[in-house]
Copies of this chain bind each other. A is one copy, B any other.
Amino acid sequence: MAKHDPALSLLFHALADPTRRSILTRLAETPARVTDLAGPTGLRLPTVMRHLSVLEEAGLITTSKDGRIRTCAIVPEALDPVRTWLDEQRAIWEARLDRLDAFVMNVMKESEE
């Protein structure tokens, strides 16, 4: 069941940064050049490049170079593993909710911090 999936770690880590998430939503509109992505963020090119590497290594985007222009685009199915993991967790978590009842009541009594 892939307990310690490294791909999952890459994905979550890539998504943990607000700049990278905004790059993703920007790319969701339409593919863009590196400079196009740097503009809105207010970041320098090398900085954007690094974010793009992280996104690409996580498999969230693809890039291709035509002449001196590198175009970046999202890879829609890249989020599938995340969604799968989330579904698995929700299934387990909800299945065990009954076991939590006693604990929750304990918490409501105890946690006054």
Contacts and interface: CB of A to CB of B under 8 A. Distances in A.
B9 A16 contact: yes
Copy number in this complex? 2
Interface residues of A, number: 47
A90 interface: yes
A82 B12 CA distance: 10
A64 B108 CA distance: 9
A28 B96 contact: yes
A96 B30 contact: yes
A82 B76 contact: no
Contacts of A15: 12
Interface centre among A18, A65, A93 (most CB of B within 10 A): A93
A30 B96 CA distance: 7
A37 interface: no
Interface in A13-44: 13, 15-18, 21-22, 24-25, 28-31
9 contacts: A12-B12, A25-B92, A31-B103, A64-B110, A64-B111, A76-B93, A76-B100, A79-B90, A86-B86
